[in-house]
Amino acid sequence: MAVYTDVTAEDLIRFLADYDLGELLAYKGIAEGVENSNFLVHTARGNFILTLYEKRVAAGDLPFFLALMEHLASRGITCPQPVKNKKDGVLGKIAGRPAAIVTFLDGMWIRRPSASNCAAVGEALAKLHLAGASFAKKRTNALSVGSWRALFEQAKDRGDAVKPGLCASIEKELAKLEKAWPRALPQGVIHADLFPDNVFFLGEKLSGLIDFYFACTDTLAYDVAICLNAWCFESDHSYNVTKGRALLKSYVKSRALDAAEKESLPLLARGAALRFLLTRLVDWLAVPDGALVRPKDPLEYFRKLRFHQSVKSVGDYGID
């Protein structure tokens, strides 16, 4: 839930004067996104989303994110499309923050995804990877294997308070992944955060992908591994092989995984689990005692990591 910055009607009217969106009729702060402030903006031209980029998003990365959304939208990926202002730009400033207006996407995110939803996500992810191949800009993944040790350093003094022995387990896994991390697999644009709340459906049909603010240039199969973690576990943290198979089979119909990618999938899935375990752990430990807001449970990803450590080969995920 996120509205970090208040926007006055006067600010917004001034901001919109640079756009051809007609009269401002209403706007509401919306409880969506964690890093930025988002507003639904209703003008004579319809509904739009205004995003104010808060300090956790580096201003230098914004042209990458916005250009990527334009690139993908122009290649048939349904995602929010940045609206151009009268100077043909997509980035403005409001209330002291960099800000952009994007199109409003219909659809709802699914709290309890089915195998059919997982299949739809697999297909959308593959198409995103294919459409991204012609995207010229690059952005390093700031949350890949090279940054995990620094995250661990922030958490290791107090991490065992969350679960005794947690830090020794993380330390061991981290050493293993740093050594074995595959670096020669096919690279490209990855979404890097394609969780259920970033995928909209209208009925059974996937209607759009949102929140490209972790997108970067990295190993494509790592994005698949993130989705396996995000979509194919039950609420008791057990892996649902039917969902995993649906996601993977659907992905490979549009973009085949080569032998090296398949062989690396268990390791990539461990890495993805460790990445979310670490960021959640840091967020968890950063919250003061007595706070009203509790961040997401880091141990969910510890349990997922345990599963991936037990995996013998890609077959355990549901495909050969």
Q: Is 285 near a second copy (CB under 8 A)?
A: no
What is the per-residue binding string for a second copy in 243-282, x denoting contact by CB under 8 A?
A: ----------------------------------------
Q: Is 184 near a second copy (CB under 8 A)?
A: no
Residue 148 is encoded by which pair of tokens? 């995990």
Do β-strands 37-43 and 46-52 pair in parallel, antiparallel, or remain unpaired? Answer: antiparallel
Element (H, E) at 42: strand 37-43
Interface pick for a second copy out of 32, 123, 173, 218 (rule CB under 8 A): 32
Q: Hey, which residues between 288 and 307 contact a second copy (CB under 8 A)?
A: 288-293
Distance CA 320, CA 266 (A): 13
Q: Is 111 near a second copy (CB under 8 A)?
A: yes
CB of residue 29 to a second copy, shortest distance in Å: 4
Q: Please give the backbone phi and psi of residue 56, each rounded to the nearest 5 degrees, phi first.
A: -70, -15
Give the closest residue to 111 by CA, choosing from 200, 192, 2.
200
Interface pick for a second copy out of 104, 156, 160, 162 (rule CB under 8 A): 104
Q: Is 67 near a second copy (CB under 8 A)?
A: no
The answer to whether 181 and 267 are in contact (CB under 8 A) is: yes
Q: Is 235 near a second copy (CB under 8 A)?
A: no
Q: Is 110 near a second copy (CB under 8 A)?
A: yes
The answer to whether 95 and 7 are in contact (CB under 8 A) is: yes
Q: Which is nearer to a second copy, 210 or 225 (by Cβ)?
A: 210
Phi-psi region of 31 (alpha: psi -120 to 50; beta: other; left: phi over 0): beta
Site for a second copy, rule CB under 8 A: 1, 3, 6, 8-10, 12, 23-32, 40, 42, 47, 104-112, 200-202, 287-293
